[in-house]
Amino acid sequence: MRISNTLTQATCLLLSLGLTTEARSVSPVAKGYSRSEKCKPHAPFRPLPPSQARTKTCHVATYGDGRDDSKHILSAIEKCNNGGKVVFDADKFYTIGTALDLTFLKHVDLDIQGYVQFTNDTDYWQANAFKQVYQNATTFFELGGEDVNVYGGGTLDGNGQVWYDLYAEDALILRPVLVGVIGLNGGTIGPLNLRYSPQWYHFVANSTDIVFDGIDISGYSKDSVTAKNTDGWDVYRSSNIVIQNSVINNGDDCVSFKPNTTDIIVQNLHCNGSHGISVGSLGQYEGEVDIVENVLVYNISMFNASDGARIKVWPGVSSELSTDLQGGGGSGIVKNITYDTMYIDNVDYAIEVTQCYGQSNLTLCNEYPSSLTISDVYFNNIHGTTSGKYDPDVGTIVCSSPSVCSNIHATNIDVTNPDGLYADEFVCTNVNTTLLDVNCISS
């Protein structure tokens, strides 16, 4: 099973990332098939809108010497918006030193074949990056509008090292997200290479009907400090999103479904070094109602990670996870979530469900249980080997009270410890263990 799944994954990734010149330079929706047809093997929850024809081409000029090319970029986009293609030429270097509001785009392609790097002026970006409404997130640019395709196989570089070093000194600095997709309705993104994001690689907010396909993410710290919070995708207040056929080498969630995210397909991913494919964190803000519903995660290879499949909910009382991340007391719903077919290797927990995120005091969690409900969750066909960090436990499914968790299933789970000396146990609390085809013990 492990060999078969790994080969299937490798085939998907070769097809999506081993790109020909044609694949890099032609719009993914200009080859005679729709966005929905592009989504395989699982189609989106709703059909995706078609993309209109592009009838003009504009090439972006560049100084090529580190000076800010933002005016060149805006000029080309303004000329080719509403029916054109904007080309960042191969073998050219582009520098962005200005926060770009690109939420006016309509019926336009951004064909990024060259290398695009954001400046390392941390003072400028902290003052001018676009402030988002969730977890103090900021973005270098805001990409939004209608019917926008971004592709080309080129590189976006966030110049992250200076941010990793600065964050180690001050955890309250505002580190920009590399790709801010804000208010985009209808689009495809990829193939692209994303490197050295200061924080999350994607923040997708208030958007619908988007396919991410063929994204190659990587970028670690080059010195002793750690590149933290480098999530592959954080999806927030968005629906009908597909994320597929991508390689993610990072240090936090591979994909994370944030509040009010619905109708999401995630398939054919290779994740390495991450915190898993995560629902949450949810319930962070008191008085807020968070909903994550209708999510399918299929055919994932997860290596060297803290978790494989993960659902994380804050407790019913304010908690502090870190200096720059506190919360708890919110409510909401997690419903109709399926993880199907996952291969893990050197992963701490194959499955982790917790309603005590951000709070190590279990007594306090039990005293103030989360009011956020979790129901209709399916963990199917998960195989592989853990890291042994929590021997004999290979997973944990722990709810704060039986009243807020129901209909949680685990089927065909074949996960072992690396040395095979333990009973491969799951910690199961406040859940119906008859629905869990694992070796449950009580916490």
Give domain limits for the chain. 2-441
Q: Which residues are catalytic?
A: 275
Strands 239-249 and 100-112 turn out to be: unpaired
| Cβ partners under 8 Å of residue 108, min gap 6 | 54, 77, 80, 81, 82, 83, 84, 85, 86, 145, 147, 148, 149
pLDDT in tens, the chain (443 residues): 233 333 334 334 433 344 333 445 667 776 656 888 889 999 999 999 999 999 999 999 999 999 999 999 999 999 999 999 999 999 999 999 999 999 999 999 999 999 999 999 999 999 999 999 888 999 999 999 999 999 999 999 999 999 999 999 999 999 999 999 999 999 999 999 999 999 999 999 999 999 999 999 999 999 999 999 999 999 999 999 999 999 999 999 999 999 999 999 999 999 999 999 999 999 888 888 999 999 999 999 999 999 999 999 988 877 776 666 678 888 999 999 999 999 999 999 999 999 888 776 667 777 778 889 999 999 999 999 999 999 999 999 998 888 899 999 999 999 999 988 777 899 999 999 999 999 999 76
Amino acid (1-letter code) at residue 334: V
Report the chain's terminal Cα–Cα distance, integer Å: 31
Q: What is the pTM of this model?
A: 0.93
For residues 136 and 284, what is the distance between their CA atoms, to the nearest angstrom? 13
Count other Cβ atoms within 10 Å, centred on residue 258.
27
- CATH class of the domain at 2-441: mainly beta
Phi, psi of 189 (to 5 degrees): -130, 120
Q: Which helix (H) or strand (E) holds 325?
A: strand 325-327
**Beta carbons of 287 and 330 less than 8 angstroms apart:** yes
For residues 98 and 197, what is the distance between their CA atoms, to the nearest angstrom? 16
